[in-house]
Amino acid sequence: MPDIKFAKLVVFVNCAVPGALLAWDAYHHRLGANPQEFVLHTTGMLTLIFLTLSLTVTPVRKLLGLPWLVQVRRTLGLYGFFYGCFHLLAYTWFDKAFDVAGIVADTLKRPYIFLGMFGFLLLIPLAVTSTNAMIKRLGGQRWNRLHKLAYLAALAGVIHYYLLVKADIRLPVGFGIALVLLLGYRIANKYFPAWTQKKPARAAAPKPEVG
């Protein structure tokens, strides 16, 4: 088993790298011909990436027998929320100049905006209840039920992305396939747990003593 504190630090730092690179490029005016669109696209993509990675932790942990991976799931999920906040900020700032009435009208008029808002709102209670204190307050079963909303948030994000792109749908379809596989694993794990969990290694039989 690796050093958990070091593993969590490595994940934390690597999750911050894309945001740091984006800020660096923005400071040096290296965001291309349409910087606003680039920031919107990048932060939205990062939100989906880290949300998907957080959902991948449980299957990988069970299939490969790596229980320590659960220690990094919270970090991945919170970074997904973090980049989602910046994606929403970029939209409200660049596209709407913080015009609340315009944002509400756009949300009700455009299905892809509605789905994006819906997915982000689902992430808020998940981020708020991510602390150990909230887990204890809610209890393990209620906390687990609540955090299954992450799948619904991811689904809303994938459809939001699919409706947004006009020509090249490979990336949203790829995210959709990954989400379907993760949901399929959840269903299989519930009804056929023997198929989805690594079997513990059998202890070697003691050798008979001679003499």
pLDDT at 195: 64
CA distance linking residue 63 with residue 146, whole number of Å: 23
Please answer whether residues 48 and 159 qualify as being in contact, where contact means their C-beta atoms are separated by less than 8 angstroms.
Answer: no
Q: Is 43 left (phi over 0), alpha (psi -120 to 50) or beta?
A: alpha
Between CA 52 and CA 58 the distance in angstroms is 11
The amino acid sitting at 98 is: F
Dump pLDDT digits (tens) for 6-27.
989 999 999 999 999 999 999 9
> Tens-digit pLDDT profile for the chain (211 aa)?
568 889 899 999 999 999 999 999 999 999 989 999 999 999 999 999 999 999 999 999 988 888 889 889 999 999 999 999 999 999 999 999 999 999 999 999 999 999 999 999 999 999 999 999 999 999 989 999 999 999 999 999 999 999 999 788 999 999 999 999 999 998 888 777 766 666 555 544 455 444 3
**Tokens linked to 63:** 């299939």
Indicate the SS3 state at residue 169.
coil
Both structure tokens of 1? 């088993």
Fold held by 4-193: Four Helix Bundle (Hemerythrin (Met), subunit A) (1.20.120)
Q: So where are the chain's domains?
A: 4-193
Sequential DSSP letters for 14-35: HHHHHHHHHHHHHHTT-S-S-H
Residues 36-71: tens digit of each pLDDT: 999 999 999 999 999 999 999 999 998 888 888 988
